Structure 1
Amino acid sequence: MTEPELVVHFTDADAARQLRADVRAGLTDVPKWLSPKWFYDAEGSELFERITALPEYYQTRAEHRILSSHAVEIAEVTGASTLVELGSGSSEKTRLLLDALRKTETLREFVPLDVSESALRAAVTAIAVDYPELVVRGVVGDFTTELAALRSGSGRLVAFLGGTIGNLLPSERAEFLSAVRAALKPGEWLLLGTDLVKDPARVVRAYDDAQGVTAEFNRNVLRVLNRELDADFVPEDFAHVALWNAEQEWIEMRLRATRPMTATLRSLELTADFAEGEEIRTEISAKFRHRRVREELDAAGFGLHRWWTDDAGDFGLSLAVAR
């Protein structure tokens, strides 16, 4: 077994600086907002894993079914020698692709990229043990800014799964897809997971589950601010809200103040005043149609080569080639 490599492009100090800048910008804006990237401390990551197993949260199961059905086809079409996974987390779903590419005997290297060094270190160690024939090179970085950290090569397949692209605003998606294209050579591949437009009531339930796990996940971002920025938010004084934006075709998660209050963030020398009912937007999750996916890929310099959905039409998986 080749020892896995871990390259750090995003340090704890970088994360602290970005958190401070994001929170100052978001809490002084009108309306207020916080970036969803700050959900994922250890507690937030554990809560999200619980969310993916909830009966209301269909996305993870739908994408897994598509990958189970089409991983071998993806491996045969791409003939990838390097698999790059963006926002990899535990890399569990990617094992379906690794297994398929192992069968085609083309894969030589696995490069997961994630902002969490601890999660990535555990993932690369586990992958290196289970796939000893692979060179495993983890990159600690923000997938929206660190694509230049990927070594140039050929025969690469970039996987961006889980519908995470829906957390980006349209302008951010365009910038991200263009950055992925710039990192690839013509003929290399992008595998993109997108949640699809469906009955809004069903989408809302996926983000406002009966057990309240998503509500705790949402409020956890305030606990992150309390710990990292010496703030004094009372998370229980904010109600979890999930709303469908019909015009944009996305879900919005918000935290709504249940009373007038002032939060002090001592590390930022900042106070944030809240009227009763005032909200902080903490996440958007855009839902897609086939046409929008094709058009956004095309605008970034990709050609849509394959499109798959699960039997219920809940989730879409796109295989696109760099032109």
Structure 2
Amino acid sequence: MDRRNFIKSSTLIGVVPMLSSFKITSSVIKPNALKSGALVGVISPSSSISELQYKKLLENFGVLGLKLVQSTHLRAHNGFLAGTDEQRIEDLHAMYQNPKISAIICARGGYGATRLLDQIDYSIIAAHPKPLIGYSDITALLLAFYKNCGHVGFHGPVGVSTFNEYTLSHFNAVLTNGEKIKLAPNTPNIIVPGKASGRLIGGNLSLLVSMIGTRHDPSWKDHILFIEEVSESTYRIDRMLTQLRSSGKLRGVKGIALGNFTKGDTLPGDPNFKYSIALNEVFHDRLGDLGIPVLAGFSFGHEEDNATLPIGILASLDTETSQLALLESAVKH
């Protein structure tokens, strides 16, 4: 594809910005619980899915016991994006406006969600509270909808994820049963001891950093922050955590839960190994002096074991019991 045409088609919607009048709210709006057999819309707001991923998506819906409704441009491909910005926003709006759709799950992450944030009509989203489910690049949408609409968002598996017993059980517990789940690390790693409570907020570290300075970035004050990352070198994680410190985003945060940091440590075979340090040292150095509890080792993020965490829901973090626990249901029954 000609690069000039790709950029032009991808940003066409940005030529005439979609203006929407929405009110930033501090209230939290819970969606209805997800019922077995419900119609669930699938969208691709970030990168495109391959043929193999599409087949896995179809298989997953059989496991989930949900009925799949594909967005118009689900399998679109436009350079490194799953269709143009206009196509992806059209699919997003359509799923929220469709009264038959009970929830929306993103097909995958990748890149592209942040391009949409200034163009989304948040009055459409606010008028139709539905569970939006995904992680990685989808962090941007979850945070924007929380900030601009007060919606609880669900940081959990995408359509092409592996729904093993752990991931599926937590998905159903949070979204279907409304359980106050308790997460415990397989191997508790206490960076800073202590107890804290507050509303959950967080997601992928790269996206958390990229949201800073935008009008779609919610306050983290009085929240428990959860963070995960994938395929980022130790020094890059150090740099991003430093950005969180320097920007002031960590001021007022009550506690921090660290999930999967897949492929984060520099391995002995890497030529840069002798210049690196262990990821755990970075956690202690960048987060150890904040005066709040920090607990690492939770199973959420870029691994097959990926627990669903609801953004905006009250939770507690306790290093003594090694638990991150929801204090209220994330859905309405």
TM-score, normalising length from structure 1? 0.29
The structure richer in helix per residue is: 1
The structure richer in strand per residue is: 1
TM-score, normalising length from structure 2? 0.29
